Structure 1
């Protein structure tokens, strides 16, 4: 889990973190075929979540809400009327990945997750359980093994409090 903390710090350092005052410019709510990662819990809601959310951390997630591909006009993406960065939201990872690979100025997909209970690490090696809804953008690979299941947080805390 230490690599996740380091990755979170790197995300913050390079600016791939929470984006303030942004909304989806388009939503692709389609799901087709099998997916390597969970699809959106409510495809009809894809594109309706706030653009300004937390970034990274938490160790566990409850639901995948959408996949986001952020676009940057300064890197060649088409400019919008505001001139700033924007994102396209997707219900399925593979569709987001294909879009990011064919779109100039696009980042690799991030995933927006809902956390109802998660583990915070305010300092390296110091863990606390936090209850309450939190929306956060994650790197997609963090989904593997991070779905909160009964007893998962208690097991994590027991293993890390030694």
Structure 2
């Protein structure tokens, strides 16, 4: 199993809104929480928040109607693609829900977004 980072602030687990951006941005700054969405005929759709991926995965495997874990991330800067092949750096905070595997090699560092956009421009020509 791949090691994913724990949430940045355990005291805030479960306080984030259910409705957030889905995917996008290519880079993340912080992990806020892991979420397991559960679908139940009796209770409808809801999620259970966790501090780490391991706990979320364990819960998802033993809970009827549970999906695989997602991760809630904070992006202080991110990449927008307003049209196919056109990439723009956005400097504004947003919260998004990602697949945990997207965390691999996508932690934003100084210059990450500028390098990414320059590389895409070279590829697209």
**Normalised by the shorter chain, which TM-score bucket?**
over 0.9
Q: Which stretches of structure 1, 4 residues or longer, exceed 3 Å deviation after superposition? A: none
1:108 to 59, 68, 74: 68
SS at match of 2:118: helix
Aligned-residue CA RMSD in angstroms?
Answer: 1.1
Unaligned runs of 5+ in 1: 1-34
- The TM-score normalised by the length of structure 1 is 0.72
What TM-score results when the alignment is normalised by the length of structure 2?
A: 0.93
Aligned-residue offset at 1:131: 1.0
Please show how residues 43-122 of structure 1 align to structure 2 within 5 Å: 43-74=10-41, 79-80=42-43, 84-122=44-82
- The whole-number CA distance in structure 2 between the counterparts of 1:131 and 1:69 is 29
Shift of 1:161: 1.0
Uncovered stretches (5+) of structure 2, i.e. residues with no partner: none
The number of residue pairs the alignment matches comes to 121
Give the deviation of 1:139 after TM superposition.
Answer: 0.5
More contact order relative to length (CA 8 Å, sep ≥ 6): 2
**Can you list the C-alpha shifts for 1:88-122, whole angstroms capped at 9, x where unaligned?**
00000000000000100001000000001000112
User: How far apart, CA to CA, are the structure 1 residues paired with 2:30 and 2:112?
Assistant: 15
Q: What is the CA distance between 1:158 and its match in structure 2?
A: 1.0
More strand by share: 2
